[in-house]
Chain A
Amino acid sequence: MKIHKYDTVIVGAGGAGMRAAIEATKRSRTAVLTKLYPTRSHTGAAQGGMAAALANVEEDNWEWHTFDTIKGGDYLVDQDAAEILAKEAIDSVLDLEKMGLPFNRTPQGTIDQRRFGGHSRNHGEAPVRRSCYAADRTGHMILQTLYQNCVKEGVEFFNEFYVLDQLIVEIDGVKHSAGVVAYELATGEIHVFQAKAVIYASGGTGKFFKVTSNAHTLTGDGQAAVYRRGLPLEDMEFFQFHPTGIWRMGILLTEGARGEGGILRNKDGERFMEKYAPVMKDLASRDVVSRSIYTEIREGRGCGPEGDHVYLDLTHLPPEQLDAKLPDITEFARTYLGIEPYTDPIPIQPTAHYAMGGIPTNVQGEVLSDNTTVVPGLYAAGEVACVSVHGANRLGTNSLLDINVFGKRAGVAAAEYSAKVDAHIELPEDPAAQVVTQVERLRNSTGTERVAAIRLELQECMDANVMVFRTEQTIKTAVEKIAELRERYLNVSIQDKGRRFNTDLLEAVELGNLLDLAEVMAVSALARKESRGGHYREDYPTRDDVNFMRHTMAYREVGDDGTESIRLDYKPVVQTRYQPMERKY
């Protein structure tokens, strides 16, 4: 075991982690621990753009953006946080441009902007061009630009270091962060990183679904690490299903395709979104469009021999426009479906895309141990966190914005905290004990269960029971199945017993994380007896602001006999100037 000492440690090197690292490295001795090489993170898969009311191409302002974000999130958004997001969006885009990001340009040479779902002029009047973009590779450009600037700032990376545990020390009854424990993939060695401040920026949990736009590596590692140490997870029942994933594969086809004029059609060729969202049509918010697609499918208007998908039609758009604005997604259709989008519509279905919930933080990125208490020295930003700027449903282009605004805020706040506190908190005795036990148990297990089999059963169960439509019955089915799988997981064994690059072992660890988080999601969803944003209960089809305009806070409890359970609590939504209204697009 090796012990390292840093001021600030950042877990994850996607957009939020690297944005934080650029700030933290300037202000404190910083290490970034990442389970992948930095440019491999899933920020790079984001396509359509980053919202900011630059008003470069038409009238716009950050107040309209704030309103759209709150309405898009079905009023579960903390309104103070949404205001910060929309206000700081402008500088955040300009910062990236100054760092070198190659945005598409207007004829005047300013940053070009395009339409995106849920973003509107004057509180819902009509779609507005607010998304700053670089073709359909905006996430790729952000990731590359941030990595370039990390190279420039000399950020210190520990590549393929996998954080498995968060060290928490209680001082006068208050939980403090003391550092993290990591597993080095190349050697199998365990490392303890003692740090004054730790920032989680480790991404989402999408791999507990089968049809997902998420990378194989998005397994909720950060959420699981803090949750197991008794910290809460907020709003985990809220998961976004992006309307346009490639049929059966789940690969993302950007909403920018509809922003450029693409149309969703059923088997009769009908533009069905006109029925569901007369004003915004195909550019209604993602939860609305995903439910509309499945309504079409259920009512027998789906396409193909199985009637199990609909079409994204780009054939009326000029090929030059597709080449210039949507080159990557048109190539995906050619590569993976053998379809020519110039002439043929693309089969699509909703795909599990984004966790609105996560580790609760305040607007400085400080992690909370209950509704109000900050965990000194612990921060989170990006998809792993829940500020909450996305509420019950995130608007497209607000995630690339979130990672930049709150990545920067967390980086600054953590480094300033590191500078302010005199000494590191003393590490607990034998800090790596839990990780050593976990790793050795998996390595030495002779159990008969296989990781891949349990993972597939989990994913199929989640797709079938807690996806776009949920009922008490389906959620209970999921809760029971997850409990069974968690039991079987105790008997899981791996084939690779070595120390060098043991990805077999890591997949087993990741499955443990997914199982814990899937359970939190299902239990949180069961208790929320209403429909709001991405959480749609067929048995409670309307929003219930009286009983449920509040955030779910899920805690792991361990009884005296070692039995685990989930305790749910609730946190009020911060409301400033926007009264909840019925959401229509």
Chain B
Amino acid sequence: MATPTLDKADAAGAPEPGFADSPYITATFRVRRFNPEISAESVWEDFQLEIDPKERVLDALHKIKWDQDGTLTFRRSCAHGICGSDAMRINGKNRLACKTLIKDLNPEKPITVEAIKGLTVLKDLVVDMDPFFQAYRDVMPFLITKETNEPTRERLQSAEDRERFDDTTKCILCAACTSSCPVFWNDGQYFGPAAIVNAHRFIFDSRDEAGEQRLEILNDKDGVWRCRTTFNCTDACPRGIEVTKAIQEVKRALITRRF
């Protein structure tokens, strides 16, 4: 006999038993399309879908690509908010398509989906991530210790010292924060929140010995002082990192030189 439960789960496309309280709905997805092989201009295109509102926006994009228009292009991988591939602007806010349920988007109205801002759009929802990763690399995002003789065992770290930088270890480099930042939109030179978050992760790690160097990098004219504390980044972070707070802590460390 076949594995028992799955026959029922297989009934994709029809309302599932046990979900009688949430029937399928018809929703419109308004996607900003761009393909320079076809046109230099982007255009909005509407797609209508029958979909369970408890599904993810990523599920909707897959349904469009698989059943309606195979040319729709976006990045995705894990589909549950861990890999950071599918940050996009959904109803005007930066989110991960795989962590956003349709029911939370007021699906009575068309749901808009477009590429994140401030990075060059290459095709549909795909942007050039290279400047984003360059800013990340610029803050020296790796543990630096001066000791030449490595310990045989692990370095000791108290649970409190470990907790000090816990929040910023959660970053998945999805660029939702950086591409929500008005300063970054207006001036691509700014490091952006994600790079500062990753600098914070090491500056406040008790094992690291290059905090001063990193602070000097961020003291640059394109560094932390460009932050205008609009909190867009904190709102955008799909991992719940208090990004603006982390940037403030870096600013404070620059003034007090204590971290």
Residues of A within 8 A of B (CB): 36-37, 39-42, 44-45, 93-94, 97-100, 102-111, 134, 137, 140-141, 144, 148-149, 151-152, 186, 210-211, 215-217, 248-249, 251, 294, 297-298, 302, 304-306, 308-309, 328, 332, 335-336, 338, 349, 450-452, 456, 460, 463-465, 467-469, 471, 474, 494-496, 498-504, 538
**Cα distance, A328 to B36, chains bound together (Å):** 39
Starting from the known contacts A37-B133, A39-B84, A248-B16, 18 additional A-B residue pairs (CB-CB under 8 Å) come to A40-B78, A44-B172, A98-B143, A98-B154, A99-B143, A104-B159, A107-B159, A109-B158, A137-B169, A149-B142, A211-B6, A215-B78, A216-B79, A306-B8, A450-B66, A460-B10, A469-B3, A500-B36
Cβ–Cβ contact B123 & A111, under 8 A? no
Cβ–Cβ contact A140 & B82, under 8 A? yes
Residues of A within 8 A of B133 (CB): 37
Residues of B within 8 A of A (CB): 1-10, 12, 16-18, 35-38, 54, 65-67, 69-71, 73-85, 99, 101, 122-124, 126, 129, 133, 136-137, 141-143, 150-151, 153-159, 162, 165-166, 169-173, 202, 205, 207-208
Residues of B within 8 A of A111 (CB): 154
In chain B, what residue has the closest Cβ to A295? B4
Residues of A within 8 A of B65 (CB): 452, 503-504
Cβ–Cβ contact B126 & A501, under 8 A? yes
**Cα distance, A20 to B173, chains bound together (Å):** 22
Cβ–Cβ contact A215 & B83, under 8 A? yes
Residues of B within 8 A of A349 (CB): 5
**Cα distance, A42 to B247, chains bound together (Å):** 29
Residues of A within 8 A of B69 (CB): 495
Distance to closest chain A CB from B28 (angstroms): 21
Cβ–Cβ contact B71 & A495, under 8 A? yes
Cβ–Cβ contact A40 & B83, under 8 A? yes
In chain B, what residue has the closest Cβ to A109? B156
Residues of A within 8 A of B126 (CB): 501
Residues of A within 8 A of B153 (CB): 94, 110
Distance to closest chain B CB from A37 (angstroms): 6
Distance to closest chain B CB from A24 (angstroms): 18
In chain B, what residue has the closest Cβ to A107? B159
**Cα distance, A137 to B74, chains bound together (Å):** 26
Residues of B within 8 A of A211 (CB): 6, 9
Cβ–Cβ contact A210 & B207, under 8 A? no
Cβ–Cβ contact A151 & B67, under 8 A? no
Distance to closest chain B CB from A473 (angstroms): 9
**Cα distance, A146 to B157, chains bound together (Å):** 20
Residues of B within 8 A of A216 (CB): 76-79
Residues of B within 8 A of A45 (CB): 78, 80, 82-83
**Cα distance, A216 to B9, chains bound together (Å):** 18
- Among candidates B2, B122, B136, B142, residue contacting A152 with C-beta atoms closer than 8 Å: B142
Distance to closest chain A CB from B139 (angstroms): 10
Cβ–Cβ contact A499 & B37, under 8 A? yes
Chain A to chain B contacts (Cβ below 8 Å), 7 pairs? A45-B83, A104-B162, A151-B136, A151-B141, A215-B83, A297-B4, A306-B5
Which of B5, B80, B142, B207 counts the most chain A CB atoms within 10 A?
A: B5
Cβ–Cβ contact B5 & A309, under 8 A? yes
In chain A, what residue has the closest Cβ to B83? A40
Cβ–Cβ contact B142 & A105, under 8 A? no
Residues of A within 8 A of B79 (CB): 215-216, 251
Cβ–Cβ contact A298 & B143, under 8 A? no
For the complex of A and B, the 7 pairs showing the least CB-CB separation, nearest first, are A100-B143, A495-B70, A452-B66, A109-B156, A308-B5, A148-B142, A504-B70
Residues of B within 8 A of A98 (CB): 143, 150-151, 154-155
Cβ–Cβ contact B166 & A102, under 8 A? yes
Cβ–Cβ contact A469 & B1, under 8 A? yes
Cβ–Cβ contact B80 & A500, under 8 A? no
Residues of A within 8 A of B202 (CB): 100
- Among candidates B1, B75, B154, B173, residue contacting A94 with C-beta atoms closer than 8 Å: B154
Distance to closest chain B CB from A510 (angstroms): 12
Residues of A within 8 A of B74 (CB): 503
